[in-house]
């Protein structure tokens, strides 16, 4: 039996030191989170996407009493971008979570969102930078492949 190790590389970024692009994505994700529809969990998530032409899109989680009919912020944003701008690739996404109006520690996308991020990378032929935003720091992931190393693919 051979043991195989899978390693990923993440970058820890102080919120105060984010680049202008990442700060703009973080701010948009925060605005999106404030508009989330989360009457059951009270856990609001926002996502902001930068497309290759400079367009920015947002999404927020949308819950439904008929669980699991809701949708995560990441997929709302990715699907809106794909529907509105099918020829523009996704360059980066920022994700942030809030509870009671307070930014939480960074969160990572669920498995379904990871799979959608990965297929979006495959669709456009390049990695998507993923910024997991927390109150005082963020984690930068270079690619969805790093979040889903043993992924389902075509």
Residue 103: its pLDDT value, please?
97
Give me the residue label for tokens 């996308």.
109
As a whole number, the mean pLDDT across the chain is 95
Residue 9: its pLDDT value, please?
87
Residue 68: its pLDDT value, please?
86
Helical pair 111-124 and 73-84, crossing angle rounded to 10 deg: 30
Distance CA 107, CA 40 (A): 19
Other CB atoms closer than 10 Å to residue 66's CB: what's the count?
A: 7
For residue range 54-75, list pLDDT tens digits in order: 999 999 999 999 988 999 999 9
Say whether 59 sits in a helix, a strand or coil: strand
Q: Predicted confidence band at 154 (pLDDT cuts at 50, 70, 90)? A: low
Give me the residue label for tokens 């390693």.
7
Per-residue exposure over 110-130, b if at least 16 CB sit within 10 Å of its own CB, e if not: eeebbbbbbbbbeebeebbbb
Residue 96 forms beta bridges with which residues?
46, 133
Query: Is 90 exceeded by the pLDDT of residue 50?
Result: yes
Residue 58 and residue 32 in contact, taking contact as beta carbons nearer than 8 Å: yes
Query: Is 80 exceeded by the pLDDT of residue 153?
Result: no
Catalytic residues: 74
Residue 67: its pLDDT value, please?
85
Q: pTM for the complete prediction?
A: 0.94
Write out the H or E segment, with its range, that includes residue 60. Answer: strand 56-60
Residue 150: its pLDDT value, please?
83
Query: Is 90 exceeded by the pLDDT of residue 152?
Result: no
For residue range 75-113, list pLDDT tens digits in order: 999 999 999 999 999 999 999 999 999 999 999 999 999
Distance from chain centroid for Cα 61: 11
């Amino acid at each position: 039996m051979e043991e195989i190790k899978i390693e990923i590389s993440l970058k820890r970024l102080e919120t105060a030191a984010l680049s202008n692009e990442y700060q703009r994505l973080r701010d948009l994700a925060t605005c999106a989170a404030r508009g989330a529809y989360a009457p059951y969990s009270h856990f609001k998530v926002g996502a902001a996407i930068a497309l290759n032409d400079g367009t920015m899109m947002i999404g927020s989680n949308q819950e439904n009493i008929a669980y699991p009919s809701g949708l995560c912020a990441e997929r709302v944003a990715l699907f809106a971008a794909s529907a509105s701008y099918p020829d523009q690739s996704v360059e980066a996404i920022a994700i942030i979570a809030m509870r009671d109006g307070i930014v939480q520690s960074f969160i990572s996308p669920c498995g379904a969102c990871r799979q959608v991020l990965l297929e979006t990378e495959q669709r456009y032929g390049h990695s998507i930078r993923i910024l997991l935003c927390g109150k005082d720091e963020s984690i930068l992931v270079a690619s969805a492949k790093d979040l889903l190393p043993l992924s389902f693919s075509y």
